[in-house]
Amino acid sequence: MTPTLEKIRNFIDGQFVGPTGDRFLDNIEPATGMPYSLVPDSDGRDVELAVVAAEKAFADWSKTTVAERSRIILSIAELIDRDLEKFARAESIDTGKPLALARKLDIPRASSNFRFFATAILHTENEAHVMDDVAFNYTLRQPRGVVGLISPWNLPLYLLSWKIAPALAVGNTAIAKPSELTPMTAYLLCEICQEAGLPNGVLNIVHGTGSNVGSAITAHNKVGTISFTGGTVTGRKVAEAGAPLFKKVSLELGGKNPNIIFADADLDAAIAGSVGSSFANQGQICLCGSRIFVERPVYADFVARFVEKTAQLKLGDPLETGSDQGAIVSQTQLDKVKFYVNLAQKEGGTIASGGKAPPAPNERCKDGYFFPPTVITNLPVGCRVNREEIFGPVVTITPFDTEDEVIAYANDSEYGLASSVWTQNLTRAHRVAERVHTGTVWVNCWLVRDLRVPFGGMKQSGVGREGGNEALHFFTEPKNICIAK
Ligand code: TXE
């Protein structure tokens, strides 16, 4: 007797409702490869219901005082903190990431996202420009209205809350669509929003596929603002959908991030930091440093010690204590990882570590989507494996001889999201950071995140920035009011 699977529901106008078409998709647990819940296979009709609710709610929410919006959004943060374990476990089961990682990274960051913007709106400043005795100008920033928020499967609540928090904090109402692969924590968030007293219709979550729900959001003429995080291919579709309607669109897309280690670096720190930036979340973070470049004098030593430290990572059942590496999010993504590892060997690469499916961590996970941290050397620097985003636990390591050479390697990419530079020469750190074409440059660190800083990429890594004032400005419309003296 197969157990009846929990049906996740949409959250529209403050109510949990099923999809209009009453169709559901299997929600697969990556660690087992088995469905463990059902997610609404919603469509344009559900998006329409959400738009009506969001429009209705906007009239009041946009006029709610900053102090009141701040209070409610702070309450959401506190309730997430209260339910940390429940959210962390849900995120781990849904994504395949280790429970310890969800507990330490994903859920605390989601809470911080709400807390940051709930307090940021208490301290915003408006610009003014005085024209001698002619006129007085001030810039009024007003909420834009109903916004569409679309998020991916790798850091589900972390990235969705990074959009919901600023959008609502400045007075917009929202329709959010999490990835159909990882809907659970967005569903749990709606319960928290109800408990926090978020008024009906301010946040609406419509579950479903990109083609049925995502595209209905991006094409809707009453959703004038779109914030998207996902792959570059889909980001292009989102931009194409928004263009005819002159929508304001923010795109945070893929990356193929360089991680540069100079010979004078603190190698212990560089190796520890690089194992993290290579394999955190099974390498499924757009900021992961998948192209490692090491100055030749320390190349052999780095590779040997990096491989040794990588081999110490414990691949296991994500729910078990001590697991450093969990499951890949889906069969499709696992197949993509395997494809690139096979391609790397055809392109002349050497598998220095990993490279083939591991034995199942335990009986429960015998059909799960597991792949070991994989290190590939001896590849041509311009080969496909060094150019295309794999988005899995796979890195390449390439030697270099000069600073100009490695900067050319780093910049020879369609992407430009993030990079790391490891050196103890401060002058060189500044020089290299200025010359590398990425939206973020970490020096002697990785994934150190101050929520005030601009975050995002250039080239095919995206358009626009999230975080701090960048987010507050993206989700508001500036108006210049000029008053004659
Ligand atoms: O992301 P998609 P996927 C990369 C990674 C991955 C690739 C594709 O390389 O292999 O992107 O991953 C919704 N209109 N990143 O397929 O398709 C979709 O339902 C509107 C990097 O998961 O981009 C989901 O909610 N929406 C990324 C969201 O878009 C559409 C993190 C992202 O899905 C849509 C994840 C459409 N036409 C993957 N089609 C990062 N930068 O962090 C899909 N969606």
pLDDT at 2 over 80: no
257 within ligand 1 shell (Cβ under 6 A):
no
Pocket test for ligand 1, best of 234, 238, 371 (most atoms within 8 A of CB): 234
Report the atom number in ligand 1 closest to the C-alpha of 215: 14
Across 127-140, average pLDDT: 97
List, in sequence order, every residue forming a beta bridge with 397; answer none if it has no partner.
Answer: 292, 377
Catalytic residue among 91, 180, 252, 466: 252
The angle, 0 to 180 degrees and rounded to 10, between the axes of the packed helices 184-196 and 66-82 is: 130
The pLDDT mean for the chain works out to 98
pLDDT of residue 221: 98
Q: Is 186 part of any domain?
A: yes
**What is the pTM (predicted TM-score) of this model?**
0.97
Asked if residue 145 is part of any domain, the answer here is: yes
Residues 412 and 479 in one domain: no
357 and 383 share one domain = yes
Distance of CA 181 to the CA centre of its chain: 14
Beta strands 128-131; 34-40: pairing state:
unpaired
| Judgement on whether residues 128 and 270 belong to the same structural domain of the protein | no
Q: Report the C-alpha dihedral over residues 264, 266, 268, 270, rounded to 10 degrees.
A: -80
283 lines ligand 1 (CB under 6 A): no
Q: Within this chain, do residues 296 and 192 fall inside the same structural domain, yes or no?
A: no
Whether residues 69 and 121 share a domain: the answer is yes
* Closest C-alpha to ligand 1, atom 25: 179
In DSSP terms, which residues pair with 53 in a beta bridge?
none
Indicate if 186 and 168 belong to the same structural domain: yes
445 is a catalytic site residue: no
Q: Is the CB of 286 under 6 A from ligand 1?
A: yes
**CATH number, domain at 338?**
3.40.309.10
Helices (H) and strands (E) in the chain, counts: 15, 23
Supply 318's token pair.
Answer: 């994500």
The CATH number of the domain holding residue 140 is 3.40.605.10
Give domain status of residue 456, yes or no.
no
Tokens of 359: 């034995």
Is 209 found in the same domain as 352? no
Asked whether residue 220 is domain-assigned, the answer is: yes
State pLDDT tens for residues 258-301: 999 999 999 999 999 999 999 999 999 999 999 999 999 999 99
DSSP one-letter string for 124-192:
----EEEETTTEEEEEEEEE-SEEEEE--SSSHHHHHHHHHHHHHHTT-EEEEE--TTS-HHHHHHHHH
Separation CA 39–CA 46 (nearest Å) = 14
Residues 313 and 201 in one domain: no
Instruction: Compute the distance between CA of residue 456 and CA of residue 272 in angstroms, rounded to an integer.
Output: 25
Number of domains in the chain: 2
Domain-located, residue 210: yes
Give the C-alpha separation, 379 to 9, whole Å. 47
In this structure, is residue 314 part of a structural domain?
Answer: yes
- Whether 286 sits among the annotated catalytic residues: the reply is yes
Which atom of ligand 1 lies closest to the CA of 232? Answer: 11
Domain that holds residue 262: 257-451
User: Which ligand 1 atom sits closest to the C-alpha of 179?
Assistant: 25
Six token digits for residue 484:
């004659």
pLDDT value of position 4 = 86
Residue pLDDT, tens place only, 396-436: 999 999 999 999 999 999 999 999 999 999 999 999 999 99
Residue with the smallest CA separation from ligand 1 atom 39 is 210
Termini Cα distance of the chain:
79
Q: Which whole number is the average pLDDT over 192-212?
A: 98
Q: What is the mean pLDDT of residues 105-118?
A: 98
Same domain, residue pair 200 and 84: yes
439 and 474, same domain (yes or no): no
Q: Are residues 64 and 188 in the same domain?
A: yes
Q: What percent of the chain has pLDDT over 70?
A: 99
**Cβ 414 vs Cβ 386: under 8 Å:** no
Q: Domain check: are 175 and 284 in the same one? A: no
DSSP 450-474: -TTS-B--EETTEES-BSHHHHHHH
Separation between Cα atoms, residue 205 and residue 411, nearest integer Å? 38
Identify whether 1 is part of a domain.
no
Which pLDDT score is estimated for 1? 60
